Structure 1
Amino acid sequence: MFRHSINSFIYRSLLTPNCCYFSSQIAKTNVNLVKSDFKQQQQQELSVKTETNELTTTQETNVLSEEDKRALAMVIKSPVDLDTYWEMALKEKKFVKKQTILDKKGGISTDLLKFLHHKYDISIPGIKRRLRYYIEFREIYNQRYINRRHTIIGPELATAHLVVYRGGRVQFRHAPNVWYTKCKQFPNIYDERYRLTVVDASNIKLRYEALDNFILLNSLQELNLSKNKHLDDFACDKIARLFRNSKNLTTLDLSDNPLITSRGIETLHRIRSLKKLIISRTKAANYPFIDLLIILFTDVNPNCEIIIK
């Protein structure tokens, strides 16, 4: 706006009767104005270039050392890679704190005071309770879903390893009459031929966390989960969610699982391919309205037969 006002003022001054100029003189004044604006722009560009050059020179002079680069890379790591980084760091550097009895001044250390203030139950029931907790924790940890195992050998062989290692047995589609009972019989890499058709996971102390391994078993036809006393209604809901889109699962054995009730059996109606469901010697089998439950179940899945005894 200021530039336009100056131009209009110059034109008015040139066109006044006291100072009448020719059109060539007016054109010269316009050219001079344009040249002055162009010079201002060049000066601004030169000042910006000098500032950028100074920044680059300062960056070149302040080159990061290798240790600083490593520290910077540790900070910039994405959240996805952070867990793997910390696992590697913990493996390389074992952060073990030394427990001391006396401090530097010769007095009682805080580690000893913490140990003495903790209430330890050294009675026989307390020791048994602690052992039970440790055994349960180890079972849950060993039955967890391991992503590395599933990516290397595939979900079929990973599930077979989990079941066979704990005393179960499996059958594959390429060998329908052969029971695999040892992990040495499986390949160490992914093989397309190994498609699970029958899984006998009875009496191997399976827990809810182990069912995360039973994924993408599209060829599975029979699943035996009997005599696993830790499986409950939540496990039934997990099975129903895993096999809700299955077209081949026809037989499911949940007998001798005392924690399974009628609520867990209700969730299994989502498996439309079921033709035989065995729930003998469970809480659901002793449900007083079990006949009504069977009627409701068969309304949704009329091809399924529920065996109570």
Structure 2
Amino acid sequence: MLLFGKISQQLCDLKKLQWLCDSRYFWSWLNAVFNKVDYERIRDVGPDRAASEWLLRCGAMVRYQGQEKWQRDYNSLPTGPLDKYKIQVIDATDSCIMGIGFDHMEGLKHVEKIRFCKCNYIEDDCLKRLSQFENLQKSMLEMEIISCGNVTDKGIIALHHLRNLKYLLLSDLPGIREKENLVKAFKTTLPALELKLELK
């Protein structure tokens, strides 16, 4: 009877492990689906509406030009003229946005601030891609990157292409190893930048 109990417990533990692995795969797959870029949708409704749908679908929030209220709920996205709502601020805290969805940002012309906080899928290539968008190079003024474990010096240094960036907060980023080199690089490329480092 004791032996049967041990075997039964081992089988239960095995099932739990299998379920954890399967659920991790499932959520990873679902997040990839949420991030998929629909270029026809961007063409039909415009970059701001399509990017809003993508960001909210992935758990991020947006704020539009001329509005104080944050848009959090996908189901209550505003209706009306497609060119009326322009994204000014993006808060991607705890969201599942990932690099494969970043083409949504290419047409955004009014984004002044982005906050990446506890974004498990944000990595160096995401920041490099972001910094290559010509519209964001002109409009971006502030960025915060906090507790994104896959970001390293390589991703941060790419942000020097955002030539109008005035404020950059880097906090709790264990992947950053060359703090002094980053400071020197930004002093050279973006002398007007206020760089705030909260790194261990």
| TM-score normalized by the length of structure 1 | 0.55
Which has the larger Rg? 1
Q: Tell me, what secondary structure is at the counterpart of 2:46? A: helix
Which residue in the other structure is 1:150 paired with? 42
Which residue in the other structure is 2:119 paired with? 228
Verify: 1:294 aligned to 2:183, yes or no: yes
- Bigger strand share: 2
- Bigger helix share: 1
Gap runs ≥5 in structure 2: 1-13
Distance in 2, matches of 1:282 and 1:136, equals: 22
Verify: 1:308 aligned to 2:197, yes or no: yes
The Cα RMSD (Å) is: 2.1
The alpha-carbon deviation at position 244 of structure 1 amounts to 6.8
Which residue in the other structure is 1:71 paired with? none
Distance in 1, matches of 2:136 and 2:85, equals: 21
Q: Which amino acid aligns with 2:23?
A: L
Q: 1:26-48 deviations in whole A, cap 9, x for unaligned? A: xxxxxxxxxxxxxxxxxxxxxxx
CA, structure 1 residues 206+194, in 2 after alignment: closer, same or farther (shift >3 Å)? same
CA, structure 1 residues 234+185, in 2 after alignment: closer, same or farther (shift >3 Å)? closer
Which residue in the other structure is 1:278 paired with? 169
Q: 1:142-172 deviations in whole A, cap 9, x for unaligned? A: 2110123212211101111222234332221
Q: Which amino acid aligns with 2:36?
A: R
Distance in 2, matches of 1:295 and 1:155, equals: 35
Which residue in the other structure is 1:98 paired with? none
CA, structure 1 residues 164+244, in 2 after alignment: closer, same or farther (shift >3 Å)? closer
Q: Tell me if the contact between 1:221 and 1:251 (Cα under 8 Å) persists in the aligned partners.
A: yes
Which residue in the other structure is 2:5 paired with? none
Which residue in the other structure is 1:110 paired with? none
% of aligned pairs identical? 17
Q: Tell me if the contact between 1:244 and 1:270 (Cα under 8 Å) persists in the aligned partners.
A: no
1:173-188 equivalent positions in 2, closer than 5 A: 173=65, 175-183=66-74, 184-187=76-79
> What is the aligned length?
184
| TM-score normalized by the length of structure 2 | 0.82
Q: Which amino acid aligns with 1:160?
A: S
Gap runs ≥5 in structure 1: 1-122
Q: Tell me, what secondary structure is at the counterpart of 1:160? A: helix
Verify: 1:172 aligned to 2:61, yes or no: no
Which residue in the other structure is 2:150 paired with? 259
Q: 1:241-270 deviations in whole A, cap 9, x for unaligned? A: 125763221011111101111111111111
CA, structure 1 residues 245+178, in 2 after alignment: closer, same or farther (shift >3 Å)? closer
Q: Tell me if the contact between 2:34 and 2:54 (Cα under 8 Å) persists in the aligned partners.
A: no
- Runs of 4+ aligned residues of structure 1 deviating over 4 Å after TM superposition are none
Q: 1:117-137 deviations in whole A, cap 9, x for unaligned? A: xxxxxx433443233222211
1:120-159 equivalent positions in 2, closer than 5 A: 123-124=14-15, 125-159=17-51
